[in-house]
Structure 1
Amino acid sequence: MTDIAAPVPAERTVPWMLQRAAETHGSAPLFSFGDASASYQRACEIAGHAAWRLTHQYGVRRGDTIVLILHNRVEFLEIVLGAAWAGAVSVPLNTAAMGEQLRHMLESAAANVIVVEQELAVRVRDALAAVSATPRLVVLTDPAARVTRGSENSVDAWEPISHGPVTEPRLPPASVRPGDPFVVLYTSGTTGVSKGVVCPHAQYYWWAYHNASLLELGPTDVLFTTLPLFHTNALSALFQAARVGASVVYERRFSASGFVDAIERAGATVTYLLGAMVPILLTVPPRPEDRESPLRRVLAPGVPEVQLREFEQRFGARIVDGFASTESNFVIGSRVSERRPGRMGTVQRGFEARVVDPNDAEVPDGTPGELVLRSREPFAFALGYRGRHDATVESWRNLWLHTGDRVVRDADGFFSFVDRLKDVIRRRGENISSHEVEAAVLTHQEVEAVAAFPVPSELAEDEVMIAVVRGEGDTLTPAALLDHVRTRLAYFAVPRFVDFVDELPLTENGKVRKFVLREQGVSPDTWDREAAGYELRRDGS
């Protein structure tokens, strides 16, 4: 189990974490993707080789940004570690992003190089047509990568370094600092477009520290995740393992029916589930072998108490709750022995948390208010939003990170989640900006006005609902509207529920009173995509 009392090291960078772990754990396994794997020592070598390839073959320099639009695959980690080793910055994007959202992210990222899977390349090229920069585009196929820049086309091999020996040299690690950017992760906007969260190297040191402590990780643990590497959770799992000498197994995607078999194949003792994944797993018919897996800990914030008990009884593993965000860290949580059902936990070492009113004045225990956070350790939180100084100042006003979440703290210091203040929808572990949903719907010529808002899902978290004011004619149908927006939104952001209304409830200043719509929710007259048998595919078709 990790030593939570150890002194804080000065370095706290990705190259330092990799080198330190290699010195301690050497030939022990660190990560695997299918048939590709690497030991601790090999991971350092991979980072050095990848850094050389990025700098000498793709012209990446210190401080440059590399956009990755990839599913979970070994090349993802190779490029991210190589970029950190070279002092460059990785910008992983959601593979479901398309249309205006993707164009905005690419414009904001200002990438020097974009690495994308072949199946996603067409939408990336379409988005780049409206982007001011002209980055180098690397399209990964198997086994080689096709490189396109301007009008030139050439084939350039990107054999996964993890598959075996390579002849390329290795670069020594760049002299990076704990506060230098490591990755930029795009998270949903609250009332605007998606924002790029600039995450420094040291933030991942503290992700590893607190996850390892709260999950009580040790060198014999095998971490297992199906969560996408373009989110903080899966990316930080590598450093959690490295902190204690454990190993991590990555799968391409989540499968409810194959979950137990995958856990057993990996020999996993710890896994990570978000939002609706626990209720979804509980819908799969139980099997005698469910409780025979080696699984002992599951990080799954926000699971309702009834489902938590059912999951633990069925699978024999204990669930850890808590509060974390891309902008902050694992700030609030409790070990299994200290947890209280229905509560997220207590503030962890090195952090401060308050519950405040709209004027940022602290409220008494037992009174709901917004959760605001602060770190006592340098660079344990994000640095701000890329290119959005206004949004950074607003979120970090009065030197506290404003989470937009409404919570209650009890007299013993335990925090409970109440609801979200932010205008954001949370579905199946994904944050969805209502602004982006509304923008996509408004591109239909027969839509006069729209409001997107969350309604409760039977699988926990939210479903996306829209209230639409049609233009003249009133001929637009819900199915026709979804046919229009499905090519403009990530599949998980396409609304499930549609209400056609005569007008939206407005304030005296003309703002939509979304709380009224949320309270009205789904009615017998609401169109339900699933009940109507409307089919939606992940590729937007």
Structure 2
Amino acid sequence: MATAPSSVLPVQLRARARSEPDRPFLLEVTGGRATYGATWDGVCNWAEHLRNLGVEPGSRVATLLPPSIDAAMIWIALGCLGAVEVPVNPDLKGAFLKHVLDDAAPMLCLARPEFVDRIRTIRPDLPVRAVERGAWEHLCGAGELDTLPTPGDIACVIYTSGSTGPAKGVMLAWAQFATTIDRIPLGPDDVTYNCHPMFHVTGRSPLVTMCSTGGSVVLREKFSAKATMDGVRAFGCTTGTFHGAPLLALPPRADDADNPLQAVFAGHNSALAAEFAKRFAVKCYDLYGSTEVGFPLVLNDPTDLEHTWCGRVREGYRAQVVDENGQSVPDGVPGELWIRPDSRLMIMIGYLNQPEATARALDGGWYHTGDIVIRHPDGNFEFLHRAGDTVRRMGENISTTAVEAVIDEHPQLSGCAVLGVPDPVAGQEVLIAAEVVEHAALDEPALYEWLTNRLPRHTLPRYLTLTDELPRTPTSKVLKTGLLDAIDLTAVWSPPKRRS
């Protein structure tokens, strides 16, 4: 159970290190290896080193580290000291980086050498220590740790992407990470492939999941579509969470299905997941969730490939769909999804330094997701769009998220944004701004023709523009805020006369 003291990652790791010290746990594609016993020893050594740097209970420590053995050890070591890690996106620069550091107010920063100067430029008063690759192998030995964290202690603070405003620091308990353990059945012989960044929940969850089973985690510092399947085969990976679309964009190989994968999470698009499952001969799952609430819904088998299915509610959670007044709506009626776990520890503790935002998000004991969904009579939830993320044209709501999901399937595009343009007749018209991959030969008429075969007629754009680069948040999400103001509608391509 997620709220049991034995489910906490540091507690599980220590127990596993004592019972199976020589069992492989952390494997780096560059050659680093750490058994369960070596990982726990490394945690103890890092804890002693951090204590000597002044870290104490309650301290916040910022980190700019890729998925690696040191990153895992540092996270657990800080938790054992009663301190809190604040993983920072290494791509943050300027005001974005300053905001996170100012908001988190860490007493220390640990970073790869290439990021040290950037931190010192933004915060000259913040002590920064460089963490070389494989630093754990050079730390001096230390004794056993006296105390370990409890399920309700803060495991880390992860910042949201900031696509709709300043990034918020989400305080997560160890118990919330433990809820990832039972997502799919795994055993001690399983090996998971992890190339997701440590500033995302997805990059940390595999450590908890595999430690609970005695399995291994393969760590790659940065995602590479070309290298993924070779890495999976080399390490015998049976599971993982993958960027499905980039892998499918690679030219098919005769040995695509010849791999050890058994169960994977392959993205939030049923059609792409089905294609991934067929091409690589693997069972695909999907998850619905967020940093704040974890993964309360799991999708095993989509009803069809035309809808954006979220799946069914997992054991330990309740879900309801409500109207604008917070009243439950019947099955088949769109509304906002609210989630409530059996234990308060299974969702975020709150937003750092933002008690009012926390109170709004958790009003009445339910987490208000801000997502508009439909619950179907069979218990499956269908995602429609983010609340307010719609274009209302001729009295009909158009989900920008749904349209963007279709556009994202185009192999010559690397991003897009669907926006509503004020119109005196229609109320709003649809504008699509799309980012073309380098050296791609694609123009607006060709893209529009492609869209006409994939989008409902009423969702087709009145305005269409292609660009080499769309503005993005530090976590690489397309930044819609202010985008429409930067577009000259008089110079944007429009399709031939279109009937409503």
Distance verdict in 2 for CA 1:501–1:35, change over 3 Å: closer
Tell me which amino acid in the other structure corresponds to 1:280. Answer: P
Distance verdict in 2 for CA 1:289–1:98, change over 3 Å: same
Distance verdict in 2 for CA 1:40–1:422, change over 3 Å: farther
Of 408, 411, 423, the match for 1:459: 408
**Who is 1:446 aligned against?**
none
**Who is 1:178 aligned against?**
151
Distance verdict in 2 for CA 1:494–1:345, change over 3 Å: closer
Q: % of aligned pairs identical? A: 28
Q: Distance between the aligned counterparts of 1:7 and 1:110, measured in 2?
A: 30
Of 126, 135, 148, the match for 1:160: 135
SS at match of 2:25: strand
SS at match of 1:330: strand
Distance verdict in 2 for CA 1:282–1:175, change over 3 Å: closer
Distance verdict in 2 for CA 1:423–1:41, change over 3 Å: farther
> Is 1:201 aligned to residue 174 of structure 2?
yes
Distance verdict in 2 for CA 1:30–1:115, change over 3 Å: same
> Is 1:492 aligned to residue 442 of structure 2?
no
> Is 1:310 aligned to residue 256 of structure 2?
no
**Who is 1:321 aligned against?**
286
Conserved 8 A contact 1:48-1:173: no
What does 1:329-478 correspond to in 2, within 5 Å? 329-335=294-300, 342=307, 343-421=309-387, 456=404, 458-460=407-409, 463-464=416-417
Task: Kindly state the Cα deviation for residue 10 of structure 1 after the two structures are TM-superposed.
Answer: 3.9
Conserved 8 A contact 1:365-1:411: yes
Tell me which amino acid in the other structure corresponds to 1:300. Answer: A
What does 1:221-236 correspond to in 2, within 5 Å? 221-236=190-205
Task: Kindly state the Cα deviation for residue 119 of structure 1 after the two structures are TM-superposed.
Answer: 2.1
Distance verdict in 2 for CA 1:78–1:7, change over 3 Å: closer
**Who is 1:295 aligned against?**
261
Task: Kindly state the Cα deviation for residue 62 of structure 1 after the two structures are TM-superposed.
Answer: 1.0
Distance verdict in 2 for CA 1:420–1:263, change over 3 Å: same
Q: Distance between the aligned counterparts of 1:383 and 1:121, measured in 2?
A: 30
SS at match of 1:253: coil
Q: Distance between the aligned counterparts of 1:371 and 1:112, measured in 2?
A: 38
After superposition, the C-alpha distances for 1:455-489 in whole angstroms (9 at most, x for unaligned) are: 72633596247899xxxxxxxxx9xxx99997x96
Task: Kindly state the Cα deviation for residue 358 of structure 1 after the two structures are TM-superposed.
Answer: 1.3
Distance verdict in 2 for CA 1:167–1:189, change over 3 Å: closer
Structure 1 window deviating more from structure 2 (232-241 vs 493-502): it is 493-502
Task: Kindly state the Cα deviation for residue 351 of structure 1 after the two structures are TM-superposed.
Answer: 0.7
Q: Distance between the aligned counterparts of 1:465 and 1:139, measured in 2?
A: 41
> Is 1:136 aligned to residue 136 of structure 2?
no
Tell me which amino acid in the other structure corresponds to 2:155. Answer: F
Q: Distance between the aligned counterparts of 2:286 and 2:386, measured in 1?
A: 17
Distance verdict in 2 for CA 1:188–1:167, change over 3 Å: closer
Q: Distance between the aligned counterparts of 1:501 and 1:53, measured in 2?
A: 49
Distance verdict in 2 for CA 1:189–1:389, change over 3 Å: farther
Distance verdict in 2 for CA 1:91–1:376, change over 3 Å: same
Distance verdict in 2 for CA 1:173–1:32, change over 3 Å: farther
Q: Distance between the aligned counterparts of 1:292 and 1:23, measured in 2?
A: 36
Conserved 8 A contact 1:355-1:370: yes
Tell me which amino acid in the other structure corresponds to 2:377. Answer: A
Q: Distance between the aligned counterparts of 1:362 and 1:47, measured in 2?
A: 47
Task: Kindly state the Cα deviation for residue 228 of structure 1 after the two structures are TM-superposed.
Answer: 0.9
Conserved 8 A contact 2:43-2:76: yes
Tell me which amino acid in the other structure corresponds to 2:130. Answer: V
> Is 1:47 aligned to residue 43 of structure 2?
yes
Q: How does the TM-score come out when normalised to structure 2?
A: 0.78
Of 26, 31, 35, the match for 1:35: 31
Task: Kindly state the Cα deviation for residue 339 of structure 1 after the two structures are TM-superposed.
Answer: 7.1
Conserved 8 A contact 1:50-1:81: no
Tell me which amino acid in the other structure corresponds to 1:252. Answer: E
Of 51, 64, 75, the match for 2:59: 64
Task: Kindly state the Cα deviation for residue 502 of structure 1 after the two structures are TM-superposed.
Answer: 9.0
Task: Kindly state the Cα deviation for residue 407 of structure 1 after the two structures are TM-superposed.
Answer: 0.9
Tell me which amino acid in the other structure corresponds to 1:178. Answer: P
Of 93, 96, 100, the match for 2:91: 96
Of 521, 524, 536, the match for 2:493: 524
Q: Distance between the aligned counterparts of 2:276 and 2:487, measured in 1?
A: 44
After superposition, the C-alpha distances for 1:406-445 in whole angstroms (9 at most, x for unaligned) are: 1111112111111112669xxxxxxxxxxxxxxxxxxxxx
Task: Kindly state the Cα deviation for residue 349 of structure 1 after the two structures are TM-superposed.
Answer: 1.0
Of 159, 169, 189, the match for 2:142: 169
Q: Distance between the aligned counterparts of 2:468 and 2:250, measured in 1?
A: 31
Size of the aligned set, in residue pairs, is: 432
Structure 2: 5+ residue stretches without partners: 391-399, 422-434, 436-466, 496-500
Distance verdict in 2 for CA 1:206–1:500, change over 3 Å: closer
Conserved 8 A contact 1:49-1:171: no
Q: Distance between the aligned counterparts of 1:141 and 1:43, measured in 2?
A: 17
Q: Distance between the aligned counterparts of 1:123 and 1:464, measured in 2?
A: 30
RMSD: 3.3
SS at match of 2:326: coil
> Is 1:119 aligned to residue 114 of structure 2?
yes
Q: Distance between the aligned counterparts of 1:68 and 1:51, measured in 2?
A: 15
